[in-house]
Amino acid sequence: MKVIILEVEPLAAERLVLLLRQIEPAIRIIAAPDDIEPVVGFCSQELVPESPAVRRCCYKVRLLGRMGRRWFFIDTKDIAIIEAENRMVHIVLMNRTKYLVDHTLDQLERELEPSAFFRINRSIILHARAVEQVKPFINHRLRITLKNPLQAEEVIVSRDRVADFKKWADS
Protein backbone atom coordinates (compact mmCIF):
# COMPACT_ATOMS: atom_id res chain seq x y z
CA MET A 1 0.00 0.00 0.00
CA LYS A 2 1.24 3.49 -0.83
CA VAL A 3 0.51 6.38 1.55
CA ILE A 4 0.84 10.15 1.41
CA ILE A 5 0.75 11.76 4.83
CA LEU A 6 -0.82 15.19 5.11
CA GLU A 7 0.00 16.62 8.51
CA VAL A 8 0.97 20.20 9.35
CA GLU A 9 2.87 19.27 12.54
CA PRO A 10 6.16 17.46 11.72
CA LEU A 11 6.18 15.59 15.05
CA ALA A 12 2.65 14.29 14.47
CA ALA A 13 3.63 13.20 10.95
CA GLU A 14 6.58 11.23 12.35
CA ARG A 15 4.37 9.54 14.92
CA LEU A 16 1.88 8.67 12.20
CA VAL A 17 4.63 7.10 10.08
CA LEU A 18 5.77 4.97 13.04
CA LEU A 19 2.21 3.93 13.85
CA LEU A 20 1.48 2.95 10.24
CA ARG A 21 4.68 0.88 10.04
CA GLN A 22 3.73 -0.92 13.27
CA ILE A 23 0.34 -1.78 11.85
CA GLU A 24 1.56 -2.77 8.39
CA PRO A 25 5.31 -3.02 7.74
CA ALA A 26 4.74 -3.25 3.96
CA ILE A 27 3.28 0.27 3.78
CA ARG A 28 5.31 2.63 1.60
CA ILE A 29 5.25 6.28 2.62
CA ILE A 30 5.41 8.09 -0.71
CA ALA A 31 5.50 11.60 0.71
CA ALA A 32 4.99 13.64 3.83
CA PRO A 33 5.07 17.18 2.42
CA ASP A 34 5.44 20.23 4.65
CA ASP A 35 3.10 22.25 2.46
CA ILE A 36 -0.38 21.03 1.59
CA GLU A 37 -0.88 23.25 -1.48
CA PRO A 38 0.97 21.01 -4.00
CA VAL A 39 -1.01 17.98 -2.81
CA VAL A 40 -4.32 19.82 -3.11
CA GLY A 41 -3.35 20.90 -6.63
CA PHE A 42 -2.44 17.33 -7.58
CA CYS A 43 -5.65 15.88 -6.15
CA SER A 44 -7.85 18.47 -7.82
CA GLN A 45 -6.29 17.63 -11.19
CA GLU A 46 -5.87 13.86 -10.82
CA LEU A 47 -8.90 12.87 -8.73
CA VAL A 48 -11.81 14.44 -10.52
CA PRO A 49 -15.30 13.48 -9.25
CA GLU A 50 -16.01 11.41 -12.38
CA SER A 51 -12.91 9.22 -11.92
CA PRO A 52 -13.41 5.60 -10.83
CA ALA A 53 -11.10 6.15 -7.82
CA VAL A 54 -13.30 8.90 -6.41
CA ARG A 55 -16.50 7.07 -7.31
CA ARG A 56 -15.41 3.95 -5.39
CA CYS A 57 -14.64 5.89 -2.24
CA CYS A 58 -17.51 8.34 -2.29
CA TYR A 59 -20.65 6.57 -3.49
CA LYS A 60 -22.39 3.43 -2.31
CA VAL A 61 -21.99 0.33 -4.45
CA ARG A 62 -24.26 -1.80 -2.27
CA LEU A 63 -27.24 -1.29 0.04
CA LEU A 64 -28.87 -3.48 2.65
CA GLY A 65 -32.50 -4.21 1.81
CA ARG A 66 -35.19 -6.04 3.70
CA MET A 67 -37.84 -8.41 2.43
CA GLY A 68 -40.00 -9.67 5.27
CA ARG A 69 -37.68 -10.66 8.10
CA ARG A 70 -34.69 -11.34 5.84
CA TRP A 71 -31.93 -8.91 4.82
CA PHE A 72 -30.23 -8.88 1.42
CA PHE A 73 -27.28 -7.14 -0.21
CA ILE A 74 -28.43 -5.02 -3.14
CA ASP A 75 -25.90 -3.95 -5.77
CA THR A 76 -26.67 -0.41 -6.85
CA LYS A 77 -26.13 -1.37 -10.49
CA ASP A 78 -29.20 -3.65 -10.24
CA ILE A 79 -31.54 -0.91 -8.99
CA ALA A 80 -34.21 0.36 -11.39
CA ILE A 81 -36.13 2.78 -9.18
CA ILE A 82 -36.25 3.94 -5.57
CA GLU A 83 -39.62 5.17 -4.38
CA ALA A 84 -40.97 6.63 -1.16
CA GLU A 85 -44.54 5.92 -0.18
CA ASN A 86 -46.18 6.38 3.22
CA ARG A 87 -42.83 7.26 4.87
CA MET A 88 -41.28 3.99 3.65
CA VAL A 89 -38.58 3.73 1.00
CA HIS A 90 -38.62 0.80 -1.43
CA ILE A 91 -36.00 -0.25 -3.95
CA VAL A 92 -37.21 -1.97 -7.09
CA LEU A 93 -34.61 -3.93 -9.02
CA MET A 94 -34.45 -4.41 -12.77
CA ASN A 95 -35.76 -7.97 -12.26
CA ARG A 96 -38.84 -6.46 -10.49
CA THR A 97 -37.86 -7.61 -6.98
CA LYS A 98 -38.86 -5.09 -4.32
CA TYR A 99 -37.00 -4.39 -1.03
CA LEU A 100 -37.52 -2.05 1.90
CA VAL A 101 -34.52 0.07 2.96
CA ASP A 102 -33.75 2.08 6.09
CA HIS A 103 -32.67 5.24 4.27
CA THR A 104 -34.50 8.38 3.26
CA LEU A 105 -34.60 9.51 -0.35
CA ASP A 106 -32.50 12.53 0.65
CA GLN A 107 -29.78 10.24 2.05
CA LEU A 108 -29.82 8.00 -0.99
CA GLU A 109 -29.71 10.95 -3.37
CA ARG A 110 -26.45 12.07 -1.71
CA GLU A 111 -24.94 8.58 -1.41
CA LEU A 112 -25.65 7.14 -4.86
CA GLU A 113 -23.61 7.88 -7.95
CA PRO A 114 -25.09 10.99 -9.60
CA SER A 115 -24.18 9.90 -13.13
CA ALA A 116 -26.37 6.79 -12.71
CA PHE A 117 -29.19 8.02 -10.44
CA PHE A 118 -31.45 11.06 -10.67
CA ARG A 119 -34.24 12.24 -8.39
CA ILE A 120 -37.08 13.01 -10.75
CA ASN A 121 -39.57 14.20 -8.12
CA ARG A 122 -40.18 14.20 -4.34
CA SER A 123 -40.87 10.49 -4.19
CA ILE A 124 -38.72 8.82 -6.88
CA ILE A 125 -35.03 8.32 -7.65
CA LEU A 126 -34.45 6.72 -11.03
CA HIS A 127 -31.52 4.72 -12.46
CA ALA A 128 -30.61 5.63 -16.03
CA ARG A 129 -30.87 1.97 -17.12
CA ALA A 130 -34.55 1.88 -16.09
CA VAL A 131 -35.59 4.50 -18.65
CA GLU A 132 -37.16 3.18 -21.80
CA GLN A 133 -38.61 6.41 -23.22
CA VAL A 134 -39.08 10.09 -22.32
CA LYS A 135 -42.02 12.13 -23.64
CA PRO A 136 -43.25 15.66 -23.02
CA PHE A 137 -46.11 15.90 -20.55
CA ILE A 138 -48.59 18.62 -19.60
CA ASN A 139 -47.45 21.72 -17.70
CA HIS A 140 -43.82 21.49 -18.94
CA ARG A 141 -43.14 18.17 -17.25
CA LEU A 142 -41.80 14.93 -18.67
CA ARG A 143 -43.32 11.44 -18.69
CA ILE A 144 -40.86 8.55 -18.45
CA THR A 145 -41.78 5.05 -19.57
CA LEU A 146 -39.94 2.45 -17.49
CA LYS A 147 -38.40 -0.84 -18.55
CA ASN A 148 -39.76 -3.87 -16.68
CA PRO A 149 -42.04 -1.88 -14.37
CA LEU A 150 -43.13 -3.41 -11.07
CA GLN A 151 -46.07 -1.12 -10.41
CA ALA A 152 -46.14 2.10 -12.38
CA GLU A 153 -45.38 1.87 -16.06
CA GLU A 154 -44.76 5.60 -16.25
CA VAL A 155 -43.38 8.20 -13.85
CA ILE A 156 -43.41 11.99 -14.06
CA VAL A 157 -40.42 14.35 -13.84
CA SER A 158 -41.51 17.38 -11.84
CA ARG A 159 -41.46 20.73 -13.61
CA ASP A 160 -38.66 22.20 -11.48
CA ARG A 161 -36.37 19.20 -12.22
CA VAL A 162 -36.88 18.98 -15.99
CA ALA A 163 -33.88 21.15 -16.94
CA ASP A 164 -31.55 19.25 -14.59
CA PHE A 165 -32.95 15.94 -15.85
CA LYS A 166 -32.17 16.89 -19.45
CA LYS A 167 -28.59 17.83 -18.49
CA TRP A 168 -28.21 14.57 -16.57
CA ALA A 169 -29.65 12.51 -19.43
CA ASP A 170 -27.33 14.17 -21.94
CA SER A 171 -24.15 13.63 -19.89
- DSSP, residue by residue, 30-71: EE--S-SHHHHHHHHHHS-TTSHHHHHHHS-SEEEEEETTEE
| Model confidence band, residue 101 (pLDDT cutoffs 50, 70, 90) | very high
Spatial distance between the Cα atoms of 166 and 145, rounded to a whole number of angstroms: 15
Instruction: Looking at the structure, tell me whether residues 102 and 155 fall in a common domain.
Output: yes
- Per-residue pLDDT reduced to its tens digit, 78-94: 999 999 999 999 999 99
Confidence (pLDDT) at 48: 52
Mean predicted lDDT score pLDDT of the chain: 83
Instruction: Looking at the structure, tell me whether residues 72 and 150 fall in a common domain.
Output: yes
Instruction: Looking at the structure, tell me whether residues 150 and 122 fall in a common domain.
Output: yes
One-letter amino acid identity for 62? R
SS3 111: helix
Please answer whether residues 101 and 90 qualify as being in contact, where contact means their C-beta atoms are separated by less than 8 angstroms.
yes
Confidence (pLDDT) at 3: 72
Higher per-residue pLDDT: 157 or 9:
157
Residue 167 confidence (pLDDT) above 80: yes
Instruction: Looking at the structure, tell me whether residues 114 and 64 fall in a common domain.
Output: yes
Average pLDDT over residues 142-160: 84
Instruction: Looking at the structure, tell me whether residues 87 and 164 fall in a common domain.
Output: yes
Average pLDDT over residues 43-55: 53
